[in-house]
Amino acid sequence: MDMNIIWKKVEFKECVKERKPRTPAMSINGKSGRISLNAAACKLLPELFFYDSVTIVKGYSGDRPVAWGFQFIQAEHGPAGDFKIHKVTRDDKSVRCCVIGSKRLARMLVGDGEQKVVCPVTKINDFMLGIDTPQQSSAAQASA
């Protein structure tokens, strides 16, 4: 390196990152068995902070399964659901994300070969969220 180089400070302009609204989504990782809802999906259920577990239901159109439902349950209002949920909260007690840990459920949703699938989430009612079957939502994303 030439020792006669003149060094000058690089100036950086202040960058203001604009936050765009996030789409409510569920990430399903078949390999690790982690199913997580992002913050936008968590905001769809106003009482999510108080739920302890989730029961899984399937939606049908005729004889064909077309959707999966996640019914959130409070332990004090009846029997526990199929899977315990773990919530990551912010300082203001709002839920940042919600996680279900189950390899069996994740592989049931996406199949054994899938690593990770992200599905849009729909609010069904005040205690239930739904997703299209992951194979359908992957096909819809590919055709769009």
Mean pLDDT score, 30-43: 90
> Model-level pTM?
0.74
- The pLDDT > 90 percentage for the chain reads 28
Long-range contacts of 35-41, Cβ-Cβ distance < 8 Å, separation of 24 or more: 35/99, 35/100, 35/101, 35/102, 35/105, 35/106, 35/109, 36/97, 36/98, 36/99, 36/100, 37/97, 37/98, 37/99, 37/121, 37/129, 38/97, 39/95, 39/96, 39/97, 41/98, 41/121, 41/129
Confidence check: pLDDT of 131 > 70: yes
Mean pLDDT score, 107-128: 86
Where residue 56 falls among pLDDT bands split at 50, 70, 90? very high
Who's near 14: CB < 8 A, 6+ residues apart?
none
Residue 140 CA to residue 144 CA, distance in Å, equals 6
Give the residue from 126, 127, 131, 121 showing the smallest Cα distance to 23: 121
Tell me which residue has tokens 């399937």.
58
Confidence check: pLDDT of 81 > 50: yes
> Contact 73/81 with Cβ under 8 angstroms?
yes
